[in-house]
């Protein structure tokens, strides 16, 4: 009894101030919530919440701004990098990031993302790759895997007629304007911790003015994949990672010695 009374209560886990108390609209098992929390934790650790402006996409995360406590704008489908450019150019001392899915970034927004990287625009992109269009109900995305069944590739993605998956991190990392481009995954605790470090490094890239930074996050969509939560995490690990290796594609020398 004495021992219990003397134990000090320590908070070891709480909601980051950058994250708002909002009931989720995401499906149970969706990894968007994890990505949201990691961003919030990073902004709070860097103490930049009040200097940050997020740019939400069109897709499941169209309402991303409801889950945070700092300023957001909402872009047209695919145009978030252009909108972020407009904000960053007039407010260069603010932190500006986009949060985009694979349909938004790799399909309709291909032009905007290529050029924002090419210009070395000093913004950060959080790229959620779950290999499918989520919000519209599970259509084929540019990142859908060969053979993957979706509502618009009911017999599986046939690369002969539907093309091959796009490797956005690989492509964007070849841009001279890219300062930090890496791929991480959200399928287990170890990888989630690595993802957070990458997000922290991406915002550090922006802080140091090293150009375009992007963290691609392999994510699940158990609802539209037609799987249980556990099955989807396993599918990501077994099928997505071989196609989309977890790797650092570009790390600016300006980040030398930076440790998270």
Partner 1 sequence: MAKEFLEGNFAMAEAAVRAGVEAYFGYPITPQTELLEWMSSRMPELKRVFLQAESEVAAINMVYGAACTGSRVMTSSSSPGVSLMMEGLSYIAGTEVPMVLIDVVRGGPGLGNIAPSQGDYNQLVHGGGHGDYHPIVLAPASVQEAIDLTVLAFDLAEKYRNICMVMADGSIGQMMEPAELPEMRPLRTTTPDWATDGCLNRDQRILTSILIDPTLEEVYNHKILNTWYRIQANEVRYKEYYLDDAEFVVIGFGTAGRIALTAVRNARAEGIKVGLFRPISLSPFPFPQIEELVESTQGILVTEMNTGQMLEDVKMAVKGRVPIEFYARLGGIVPYPDEILGEIRRLAHEPRSPDGDPRARWMQRLKDGVITLS
Kindly list the residues in this chain that would bind partner 1 in the complex (CB under 8 A).
Answer: 20, 49-53, 55-56, 62-63, 65, 68-76, 79, 82-87, 89-91, 94, 111-112, 114-115
> Whole-number minimum distance, CB 103 to partner 1, in Å?
16
> Whole-number minimum distance, CB 60 to partner 1, in Å?
13
Distances 3 to 7, 8, 10 between C-alpha atoms, Å = 6, 10, 15
In terms of Cβ atoms closer than 10 Å to its own Cβ (0-12, 13-18, 19+), residue 203 is buried
Q: Which is nearer to partner 1, 94 or 149 (CB)?
A: 94
Q: Which is nearer to partner 1, 83 or 128 (CB)?
A: 83
> Whole-number minimum distance, CB 241 to partner 1, in Å?
32
Q: Which is nearer to partner 1, 174 or 193 (CB)?
A: 174
CB atoms within 10 A of CB 50: 12
> Whole-number minimum distance, CB 39 to partner 1, in Å?
15
Query: How many CA atoms lie within 13 Å of 29's alpha carbon, on the beta-carbon side?
Result: 17
What are 177's two structure tokens?
């304007």
Q: Which is nearer to partner 1, 73 or 243 (CB)?
A: 73
Q: Which is nearer to partner 1, 98 or 144 (CB)?
A: 98
Q: Which is nearer to partner 1, 192 or 214 (CB)?
A: 214
What backbone torsions phi and psi does residue 85 show, to the nearest 5 degrees? -60, -45
> Whole-number minimum distance, CB 209 to partner 1, in Å?
16
Distances 150 to 32, 85, 129, 158, 228 between C-alpha atoms, Å = 20, 33, 15, 11, 16
The residue with tokens 């993802």 is 195
What are 90's two structure tokens?
């007039």
> Whole-number minimum distance, CB 85 to partner 1, in Å?
5
How many residues appear in the chain?
260
Q: Which is nearer to partner 1, 54 or 138 (CB)?
A: 54
> Whole-number minimum distance, CB 172 to partner 1, in Å?
14
Angle at 135 between CA 151 and CA 224, to 5 degrees: 45
In terms of Cβ atoms closer than 10 Å to its own Cβ (0-12, 13-18, 19+), residue 3 is exposed
């Amino acid at each position: 009894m004495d021992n219990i009374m003397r134990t000090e209560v320590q908070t070891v886990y709480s909601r980051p101030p950058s994250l708002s108390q909002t009931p989720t609209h995401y499906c149970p098992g969706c990894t968007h919530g994890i990505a949201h929390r990691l961003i919030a934790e990073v902004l709070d650790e860097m103490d930049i919440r009040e200097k940050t402006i997020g740019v939400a996409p069109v897709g499941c995360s169209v309402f991303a701004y409801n889950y945070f406590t700092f300023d957001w704008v909402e872009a047209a489908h695919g145009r978030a990098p252009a909108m972020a450019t407009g904000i960053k150019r007039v407010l260069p001392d603010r932190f500006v990031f986009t949060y985009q899915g694979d349909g938004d970034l790799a399909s309709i927004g291909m032009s905007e993302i290529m050029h924002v990287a090419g210009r070395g625009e000093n913004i950060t992109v959080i790229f959620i790759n779950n290999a499918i269009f989520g919000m519209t109900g599970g259509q084929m995305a540019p990142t859908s895997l060969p053979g993957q069944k979706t509502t618009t590739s009911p017999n599986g993605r046939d690369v002969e007629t539907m093309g091959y998956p796009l490797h956005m991190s690989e492509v964007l990392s070849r841009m001279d304007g890219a300062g930090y481009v890496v791929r991480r995954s959200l399928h287990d605790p170890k990888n989630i911790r690595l993802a957070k470090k990458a997000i922290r490094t991406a915002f550090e890239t922006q802080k140091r003015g090293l150009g375009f930074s992007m963290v691609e996050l392999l994510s699940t969509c158990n609802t539209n994949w037609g799987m249980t939560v556990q099955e989807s995490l396993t599918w990501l690990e077994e099928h997505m990672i071989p196609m989309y290796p977890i790797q650092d594609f570009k790390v600016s020398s300006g980040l030398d010695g930076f440790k998270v």
